[in-house]
C-alpha cells in the first residue's frame, strides 16, 4: 500500500505520522514493525496576537525526515516514567493516554509526557519545569541535568493534544503522542544544543498560521491545524484529542 490512500482528514491531506518519505512501492512488502512509543512537544508563545510555535530543522544527514522542520521529540525511554514531577498530568489527559494501549497505567501516561520534555531538552536546551530549591532525585542522564539545575518537570503545564501511528509497510513506525505547553513552562535555557552538527540545525518561532508553509512531515501539518483550532476554542483539557491511525487499510481520525 502506498501513501495514495484516502485521507480521513478534510482536504485530502495524507496521514503519515512523523514520516517525510512516501513509504515504499506497492509491490515491495516490508516485515511488520511494531510502532515504537514516541513523544513530541509543541511549545506555544502567545505574547502576540497570533500564537507562535517552535519548530526545528533536522540535519540533512539524518536518515529520518532529513532537512525537514519538526517539533522536538523522540522515543520514550523506560527511565522517563521514573522521573519525579512537580505536578502530575491533568486527570483527563492521564485517562486519554491510557486508552488503547497495552498495560495502561498512570505511570506510563506520565512517561509519555516526560519523554516529550526530556527530548525537548536534548534537542533544544530548553528545560520545562519548576525550580524546587531542593535536591532532585533523578534517573540517569539527561535527567541528571534537571537534578543539577534543581528543576522538576511540571506535567500540570502540559496538554495532550494528538496521537498518531505510522501506517504499516514503512521502514520506521512510531506511536506518537503530541503534547503542547506555553513558553511560561520553560524554567531554564541552555545554549549549545542547536547547530550545524546537531540533530536540529536551527530553531524557528513562527505564527501558527504560517508554520505549515515550511517543509515538514504531513502529520506535523495536520496536528498544527488541530492545535490552531484547539487554541481558538480555549485550549481546555476537556477538549477531545484526535487519534490518527489506519484501520482495515483506511486512514481514520478517531477521538480519545
DSSP letter for each residue of 162-190: EEEE--SS-SS-EEEEEEEEEGGGEEEE-
- What is the CA 108 to chain-centroid distance, rounded? 16
Please report whether residue 14 resides in a domain. no
| pLDDT at 86 (0 to 100) | 95
| pLDDT at 58 (0 to 100) | 79
Q: State the total domains in the chain.
A: 1
Please report whether residue 94 resides in a domain. yes
Cβ atoms of 76 and 38 closer than 8 Å: yes
| pLDDT at 251 (0 to 100) | 87
Distance CA 172, CA 245 (A): 15
| pLDDT at 134 (0 to 100) | 81
Please report whether residue 162 resides in a domain. yes
Please report whether residue 244 resides in a domain. yes
| pLDDT at 34 (0 to 100) | 87
| pLDDT at 212 (0 to 100) | 83
Please report whether residue 183 resides in a domain. yes
- Write out the chain's pLDDT in tens, 256 residues: 222 222 333 333 333 433 344 444 445 566 778 889 999 999 999 999 999 999 988 765 655 556 688 899 999 999 999 999 999 999 999 999 999 999 999 999 999 999 999 999 999 999 999 999 888 888 877 799 999 999 999 999 999 999 999 888 777 789 999 999 999 999 999 999 888 877 888 899 999 999 888 888 889 999 999 999 999 999 999 999 999 998 888 889 999 9
Please report whether residue 60 resides in a domain. yes
Single out the residue of 33, 28, 27, 255 nearest to residue 19, CA to CA.
Answer: 33
| pLDDT at 88 (0 to 100) | 97
Q: What angle do CA 84, 157, 96 make, to 5 degrees?
A: 85
CATH number at residue 250: 3.90.79.10
Please report whether residue 13 resides in a domain. no
| pLDDT at 30 (0 to 100) | 66
| pLDDT at 59 (0 to 100) | 63
Distance CA 156, CA 158 (A): 6
Please report whether residue 8 resides in a domain. no
Tally Cβ neighbours within 10 Å of residue 211.
24
| Domain around 159 | 36-255
3-state secondary structure at position 238: coil
| pLDDT at 67 (0 to 100) | 66
Cβ atoms of 183 and 43 closer than 8 Å: yes
| pLDDT at 63 (0 to 100) | 55
Amino acid at each position: 500500500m502506498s501513501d495514495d490512500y484516502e485521507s480521513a482528514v478534510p482536504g485530502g491531506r495524507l496521514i503519515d505520522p512523523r514520516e517525510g518519505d512516501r513509504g515504499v512501492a506497492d509491490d515491495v512488502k516490508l516485515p511488520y514493525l511494531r510502532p515504537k512509543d514516541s513523544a513530541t512537544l509543541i511549545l506555544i508563545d502567545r505574547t502576540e496576537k497570533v500564537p507562535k510555535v517552535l519548530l526545528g530543522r533536522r540535519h540533512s544527514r539524518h536518515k529520518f525526515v532529513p532537512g525537514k522542520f519538526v517539533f522536538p521529540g523522540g522515543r520514550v525511554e523506560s527511565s522517563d516514567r521514573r522521573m519525579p514531577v512537580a505536578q502530575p498530568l491533568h486527570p483527563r489527559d492521564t485517562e486519554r493516554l491510557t486508552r488503547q494501549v497495552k498495560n495502561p497505567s498512570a505511570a506510563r501516561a506520565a512517561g509519555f509526557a516526560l519523554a516529550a520534555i526530556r527530548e525537548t531538552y536534548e534537542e533544544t536546551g530548553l528545560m520545562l519545569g519548576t525550580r524546587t530549591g531542593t535536591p532532585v532525585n533523578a534517573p540517569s542522564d539527561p535527567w541528571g541535568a534537571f537534578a543539577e539545575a534543581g528543576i522538576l518537570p511540571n506535567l500540570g503545564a502540559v496538554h495532550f493534544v494528538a496521537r498518531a501511528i505510522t501506517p504499516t509497510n514503512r521502514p520506521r513506525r512510531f506511536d506518537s503522542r503530541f503534547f503542547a505547553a506555553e513558553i511560561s513552562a520553560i524554567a531554564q535555557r541552555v545554549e549549545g544544543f542547536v547547530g550545524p552538527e546537531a540533530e536540529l540545525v536551527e530553531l524557528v518561532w513562527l505564527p501558527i498560521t504560517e508554520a505549515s508553509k515550511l517543509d515538514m512531515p504531513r502529520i506535523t501539518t495536520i496536528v498544527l491545524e488541530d492545535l490552531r483550532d484547539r487554541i481558538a476554542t480555549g485550549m481546555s483539557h476537556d477538549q477531545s484529542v484526535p487519534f490518527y491511525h489506519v484501520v482495515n487499510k483506511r486512514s481514520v481520525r478517531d477521538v480519545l
